[in-house]
Amino acid sequence: MPQIRNVAVLSHSGAGKTSLVEAMLYRAGAITTLGSVEDGNTVSDVTPEEKRRKISIYSGIHPYEWKGSHFNVIDTPGYADFVGEIRGAQAAADGVLIVVSAVSGVAVGTERVHSSSFERELNTIFVVNKMDRENADFFRTMSSIEDSLAGNIAAIQIPIGQAEDFRGIVDLIEMVAYTWPEGEPVKGPIPDEAEGMAREYRERLVESVVETDDELMMAYLEDQDLDNERLKQAFFKAVRANTLQPVLMTSALKLMGVTLLLDFMNEGVRTVEDHRTLRVERGEMPPLGVEGPFVARVFKTVIDPYLGKVSMMRVLSGSLKAGSPLRDVTQDADLRTAHLYVPKGKDLSEVKQLDAGMIGAITKADPVRTGDTLAAPGVDVLLSHIRMPKPVMALALKPQTRADDDKLSEGLSKLLDADPTLQLVRDPDTHQTVLWGMGHVHLEVATGVLSERFGVNVDTTPPKISYRETITNEGDARYRHKKQTGGAGQFAEVALRVEPMPRDGGEEFDWAVVGGTIPTNFQSSCEKGFRAALEKGPLGFRVVDVKAVVYDGKDHPVDSKDVAFQVAAGEAFKEASSKAQPVLLEPIALVKVRVPDRYTGDVISDLNGRRGRILGMESEGTVAVVSAHVPMAELQSYSADLRSMTGGRGAFSLAFDRYDHCPQHVAQRVMAEQEAEQAAS
């Protein structure tokens, strides 16, 4: 069986990642025609939404054979909204290709995927693509990579000519040149124009290699001649261990450098056995490779219209045969798989067995979720979960018809199964169904999937803000409820005092009636009335952080009953609250914005304009992280606004922090809008 290597291809949007994958598959003979993103006929972008937007939305797995090795190349989205697909691909990968545009250089997306790959200890290879484009500059891009990204990074190639004049590559390991006079690379001597730069970058490469090997370092410091074969062995060992990150180059559209990249990956990408020990939450991970018991991690879930739920897994240890029992350790559920598959683009091919290193799939395993650990019965190991970022933008969903309403829950369940970066919230204050995602495009695509695949049509609006209210002083009221009809009447009188509680102190009810003016059997009735009245205070919103004390009242021997004291207590609470200087509270979020240094001033100014309070700023290389407390009401369009402000180079995280007093001018506007909405309904 050939060695299996799984490689995730990552980049910032627009670096030419999908075009490079297409070129690799074409050069390897896995496809016979070369598609293009512009024409919408690449093997990676297959859904109508991807073709329409000309971006990758879902990760695609594309196998190919190259000189005795089997590769699964995982093409991932470059657009930051689809980070869940990226994180899943990293969990399935042995190594990553990080594609950088020779025109625009390192972008925020590049930094994000590099940081998350480095954290996962994946061996990393950089590919500078678009070398043939106008304004392409390898050396400028190389400086951008070295200045912006952590680690021991070294070019192993330099260009012969640049931009429109790009016509060849110098291999710094063998010190030979390659040109492409008629498609396939032709080896030859290094031309004079590149000789000086080649020697300079070769020396840099040697320095980077000897840093990873103590014996070589000693020989280098003693000015001994270094054997090139020994240097190569140390180089590839360092690359697979990720103690050295090499930089190669390509023009995907002209198929230049692609064959050299395929050759390099045969030695430069580790196999499953080369992995360092995987992090576990429980138990001990068996040895990686085919010798151990079966262990796999589910890294992606697909809802297929014909096969139903498809769980994609990366096999880490042992083997699984079709029909064998297995266990979802995460969900504590027993499974049996009648059929096993391997993915190839949008298709699945059935196989009899999955071995360590392979990417496979099982179907109709309902308990299984993305990130779950699957294992042979009796193997109690739980791998660390795939860490996903929290969503930052929300839309309220309203079914268009009664039929859509009936199908909404099932459709949303399938949607959330397939995408762990989506979150569903049913807001108890606004009574809205709210879908949270990573940005405007993410949510737009999600609601499109609801309609196209699951037949659920919804209208979307920005969600209502969950305002609340509280009191700032004490208030007192007495309310008599008297209702006399032809039959039995209703009577209750309640005297009640309200007091403010500390923020997040909750809502309390106290009974201070003495002398039996209200029989104690009506105490629970008064508390029910108080709790019901909390739903809508004098300003029209849910009341929080308040204490109510019933201290007096009257009853009637015949007409007093439970419902009467509920009404009296509720009305007394409303009157007392209106006298206790009620104020509006608004939700405040902790926002962390990550942008290149040059945008820091614009970001801080914009956050101040959103009534934000800047908490501080940290520097991470060429990137600044600005932290601020900002009202949630001011953040509903922030995802799109930040992207516009920074040319797509900014990113942010958002988390609810607390409720705080709403400024008077804002409170008046909110209450006016509330009244107008109620009048219109």
Q: What is the DSSP string of 420-453?
A: TT-EEEE-TTT--EEEEESSHHHHHHHHHHHHHT
Which amino acid would we find at residue 221?
A: L
**Domains defined for the chain, CATH in brackets:** 3-274 (3.40.50.300), 280-383 (2.40.30.10), 393-461 (3.30.70.870), 473-580 (3.30.230.10), 585-666 (3.30.70.240)
pLDDT for the residue 430: 87
Q: Within 13 Å of residue 372, how many CA atoms lie on the same side as its CB?
A: 24
Question: Residue 1 — very low, low, confident or very high, per pLDDT cuts 50/70/90?
Answer: low
pLDDT at 483 over 90: no
Average of per-residue pLDDT across 383-409: 92
Q: Which of 170, 168, 220 is nearest to 196 (CA)?
A: 170
pLDDT for the residue 643: 85
Q: How far is the C-alpha of 616 from the C-alpha of 625, rounded, in Å?
A: 8
pLDDT at 487 over 70: no
Q: What is the pLDDT of residues 116-159, one digit of tens each?
A: 888 888 999 999 999 999 999 999 999 999 988 889 999 999 99
Q: Which of 139, 94, 144, 96 is nearest to 249 (CA)?
A: 139
Average of per-residue pLDDT across 209-235: 85
Question: Residue 213 — very low, low, confident or very high, per pLDDT cuts 50/70/90?
Answer: confident
Measure the CA dihedral 403/408/409/413, to 10°: 140
Phi-psi region of 197 (alpha: psi -120 to 50; beta: other; left: phi over 0): alpha
pLDDT for the residue 219: 80
pLDDT for the residue 681: 65
CB 548 within 8 A of CB 573: yes
Q: How far is the C-alpha of 47 from the C-alpha of 57, rounded, in Å?
A: 9
Q: What is the DSSP string of 148-160?
A: HS-S-EEESEEEE
Q: What is the pLDDT of residues 626-647, one digit of tens each?
A: 999 999 999 988 988 998 898 7
pLDDT at 407 over 70: yes
Q: Which of 134, 127, 149, 144 is nearest to 103 (CA)?
A: 134
Instruction: Give the full edge-to-edge strand order of the sheet including 423-426.
Output: 423-426, 433-437, 393-399, 458-461
pLDDT at 341 over 90: yes
pLDDT for the residue 56: 82
Average of per-residue pLDDT across 506-532: 94
User: 182-186, 496-500, 507-511, 557-561 — which is least confidently predicted?
Assistant: 182-186
Question: Residue 605 — very low, low, confident or very high, per pLDDT cuts 50/70/90?
Answer: very high
Residues 6+ apart with CB under 8 A from 200: none
Q: What is the pLDDT of residues 556-569, one digit of tens each?
A: 888 889 999 999 99
CB 337 within 8 A of CB 298: no
Structure tokens, 517: 């003016």
Residues 6+ apart with CB under 8 A from 259: 27, 184, 185
pLDDT for the residue 621: 67
pLDDT for the residue 2: 63
Structure tokens, 211: 């840093």
Q: What is the DSSP string of 303-332?
A: EETTTEEEEEEEEEESEEETT-EEEETTTT
Stated pTM of the model: 0.85
* Residue 112 or 610, more confident: 610
Average of per-residue pLDDT across 593-612: 92
Average pLDDT, the chain: 91
Which amino acid would we find at residue 588?
A: I
CB 409 within 8 A of CB 402: no
pLDDT at 172 over 60: yes
CB 651 within 8 A of CB 389: no
Share of the chain residues as helix, strand and coil, in percent rounded to the nearest 5 = 30, 35, 35
Burial call 29-64: b when 16+ CB within 10 Å, e when fewer: ebbeebbebeeeebbbbbbebbeebebbbbbbbbbb
Question: Residue 196 — very low, low, confident or very high, per pLDDT cuts 50/70/90?
Answer: very high
How far from chain centre, in Å, is Cα 54?
21
Average of per-residue pLDDT across 408-424: 93
CB 31 within 8 A of CB 25: yes
Q: How far is the C-alpha of 124 from the C-alpha of 7, rounded, in Å?
A: 10
CB 628 within 8 A of CB 577: no
Q: What is the pLDDT of residues 429-454, one digit of tens each?
A: 888 999 999 988 899 999 999 998 88
CB 14 within 8 A of CB 133: no
